[in-house]
Structure 1
Amino acid sequence: MTSRVRIALLIGLAGVVLVTLVMAPMLMSTFPAFLGAGGGAADCVDDTFKVTNVSDTAQSDIPRDYLELYKKWGKKTGVQWTVLAAVGKRETDHGRSNLPGVKGGTNYAGAAGPMQFLVSTWGGKAKIKIPSKFNGYASDGDEDGWADVYNPADAILGAAKMLKRNGAPGDLTRALFVYNHAMWYVEQVLQIARRYAVDGTLEVPPEADPACDPPLVDAAPTEVVKKIMEYALAQRGKPYVWGGTGPHGYDCSGIIYMAYRAAGLSIPRTTFGQWPFGAKISKGKEQAGDLVFFNAGPGTSSDNPGHVGMIVSPGKMIEARCTLCGPIKVTTYRDRPNIVGYTRPLENPTVLEQLKRLGLT
């Protein structure tokens, strides 16, 4: 294990408060032998199967239909396909295991299907009509109108969504720890994933194909907000840089400061300045272009937030989170702890005057 992985694992244990979603891994007799082996929306995805960036180990071990699904949904969601495949290997040997719960029913812990979802986290039922009132990770990967936990197309998409929601591709330790609440499981999955990659590394991939993104900017409430969002979203994939204001990297407030500048507007540079600057917005009333603040970071408190993201749609924000948190990306915020509040910089009197001078009011 590299020193970088050790550091990431320690940080994942010490710095992240996790919601336990135990995924009950299935022990496979082939696993030790495998570790010792050698070898180096769907319309937006190129469905042509290409065996690229796949090690000899992966090509010989992963069934072709599963490999295609891992790569397809990895590309779609921005999660490393190798990590998806490693989860599938560790859980059920890519659906080949005959243990209880893989092809029908559940195992002793209530897990089901090739990716071993707890039925409760899938949506309460193993097979759900889509769309549905059920919450969870139930997904319709083959667009047949049903989210079937035993269907590899559905289960692999659901697993990709779960990993993405909980930290992938940047924070794989956290994402895998939530998937199965055990550090030995995290280490084993990462070891498999490296064997599936051609060069043995798990680099953070670029953001999912922009053509697959929801039309976020089209839903902007005003042309000004649209300009702000266009700038911010164009920075996805760039690294977090403390004190950064681009063009190669940004910190959490730096990307917001520059996004507003791109629309011709001046707001405070730092999180501590941005928090009192905007008009306070009630929870549930926030909209694209507004800011959401968190009690996170050294020297912060419930009335002095140290982290900020910019809302791009209900429940989603773009953020530059931290050096070890992966690249700038769109994440969810309503399920995050320590939210201090929301503000609307566009309602600050100084900004209103700027808009007036620019003829934008």
Structure 2
Amino acid sequence: MRLSPTRLAVLIGVAGALLLVAVIVSPMLLISMPSFLNNGGTAVDCDDTAQVEEASDSAASDIPRDYLELYQEYGERIGVQWNILAAVGKRETDHGRSTLPGVRSGTNHAGAAGPMQFLISTWGGKARIPMSSTFNGYASDGDGDGVGDVYNPADAILGAAKMLKRNGAPENVRRALFVYNRAWWYVDQVEEIARTYALSGEVDVPPQASEECDEPLVEAAPSDVVAEILEYALAQRGKPYLWGGTGPDAFDCSGVIYAAYRAAGLSIPRTTFGQWPFGVKVLEGQEQPGDLVFFNSGPGTSPDNPGHVGLVVSKGKMLEARCRLCGPIKVTSYESRTNRVGFTRPLQNPDVLEQLKRLQNSTL
């Protein structure tokens, strides 16, 4: 794609002015379309979120009403299949009805507790944790009482939804379930239960945005430069994750972004740790295509030192290379991620502004 000198000049002028007034970002009205029409006139599903599956008669008769409401509420809020969440609850404790040790108090022989059978170590180190305290685990406060109680169904189900999401759901359900209880026979059993709970008899896995969705995303880019970045990045979808990879056959999270900017003639830092302080911070809700979205990814990372990054391609959507076991590079949602740290705009970095000027001069 040839850079338009006029549009590039406008981009540089606007970005420079924004930088001088310390990140006064002009909001953009981006219309998010759930699907587009391909050339044949067939609707193409460009969404990546789990479908809200209706409950079957089997689910309604087997799952206590309060549990069913919690599974559906937190499944939709966190972005995982509610029937998978419910099937875990069924397989673990029959939705809290089991009288075995560890369900209502104490732990079982493996150290697991509560209706969703969390290992106390993965919950946060103890069964009941004030949510104002610092801890490393999945302890959650579903009922708003300020305490993450592993025996409380609302807290435990919310925590389980977060754990499934963190480990691959809704796209890679089997991997997420394997991490939950490391046995493939367990994964098979949970999936079978989940099918009986869904009205369709299936476990819905969200489709990945297809190539038919690329053109509208690129055309909606705020500049020719961003369009080039998106065009390259989206073309990498389906390639595998490789730690340290910068292409052309495989990438890691920051590598695919580094390569996409390079394809547009721009140089930015190679790693997530370098990319985070490089771009100008953007307020949530004012992010736009071409910006970067960062996440706290666990041990060794923090809100001030995020360990994962994605490329914003449209409002609420990003392209990411997540991890080796998380499947190929794809377009996913960032809005449902609870570990989101913030957004940056590399195009407002002074070094990038100079690079843009040189690119403009080279096209004159």
- In which range does the TM-score fall when normalised by the shorter chain? 0.5 to 0.7
1:80-99 residue CA offsets vs partner (Å, 9 max, x unmatched): 11011000000000001111
Alignment partner, residue 319 of structure 1? 319
The 3-state SS of whatever aligns with 2:192 is helix
1:311-349 residue CA offsets vs partner (Å, 9 max, x unmatched): 69xxx98225598787622287999xxxxxx99344434
Within the alignment, does 1:290 sit opposite 2:292 as a pair? yes
Within the alignment, does 1:262 sit opposite 2:222 as a pair? yes
Alignment partner, residue 216 of structure 1? none
Rounded to whole Å, the distance in 2 between the matches of 1:68 and 1:156 is: 11
Displacement of 1:246 after TM fit? 3.4
Rounded to whole Å, the distance in 2 between the matches of 1:319 and 1:71 is: 27
1:238-296 residue CA offsets vs partner (Å, 9 max, x unmatched): 7333596233xxxxxxx6x666x23564444324652532322744525552378xxxx
Rounded to whole Å, the distance in 2 between the matches of 1:333 and 1:129 is: 18
Alignment partner, residue 27 of structure 2? none
Alignment partner, residue 84 of structure 1? 85
The one of 240, 245, 253 equivalent to 2:209 is 240
Alignment partner, residue 61 of structure 1? 62
Displacement of 1:201 after TM fit? 1.4
Displacement of 1:102 after TM fit? 0.6
Alignment partner, residue 111 of structure 1? 112
When normalised by structure 1's length, the TM-score is 0.58
1:69/1:90 Cα in 2 relative to 1: closer, same or farther (>3 Å)?
A: same
Displacement of 1:309 after TM fit? 2.7
Displacement of 1:196 after TM fit? 0.2
Matching of residues 136-285 of structure 1 within 5 Å:
136-204=137-205, 239-241=208-210, 245-247=214-216, 261-263=221-223, 265-266=225-226, 267-268=228-229, 269-271=231-233, 273-276=259-262, 277-280=266-269, 282-283=273-274, 284-285=276-277
The one of 317, 328, 346 equivalent to 2:332 is 328
Q: Which runs of 4+ in 1 moved over 6 A?
A: 322-326, 331-335, 354-357
Rounded to whole Å, the distance in 2 between the matches of 1:73 and 1:326 is: 24
When normalised by structure 2's length, the TM-score is 0.57
Q: Is the 8 A contact 1:278 1:346 kept in 2?
A: no
Rounded to whole Å, the distance in 1 between the matches of 2:328 and 2:223 is: 30
Q: Is the 8 A contact 1:101 1:113 kept in 2?
A: yes
Name which structure has the greater RCO, CA cutoff 8 Å, separation 6+.
2
Q: Is the 8 A contact 2:78 2:337 kept in 1?
A: no
The 3-state SS of whatever aligns with 1:125 is coil
- Tell me, which stretches of 5 or more residues in structure 2 are unaligned? 1-52, 234-246, 248-258, 283-290, 295-307
1:334/1:112 Cα in 2 relative to 1: closer, same or farther (>3 Å)?
A: closer
Q: Is the 8 A contact 1:193 1:202 kept in 2?
A: yes
1:317/1:332 Cα in 2 relative to 1: closer, same or farther (>3 Å)?
A: farther
- Tell me, which stretches of 5 or more residues in structure 1 are unaligned? 1-51, 206-237, 248-254, 293-306, 336-341
1:278/1:89 Cα in 2 relative to 1: closer, same or farther (>3 Å)?
A: same
Rounded to whole Å, the distance in 2 between the matches of 1:122 and 1:258 is: 45
Rounded to whole Å, the distance in 2 between the matches of 1:191 and 1:126 is: 30
Q: Is the 8 A contact 2:102 2:113 kept in 1?
A: yes
Displacement of 1:165 after TM fit? 1.1
- Aligned Cα root-mean-square deviation (Å): 3.9
1:332/1:54 Cα in 2 relative to 1: closer, same or farther (>3 Å)?
A: closer
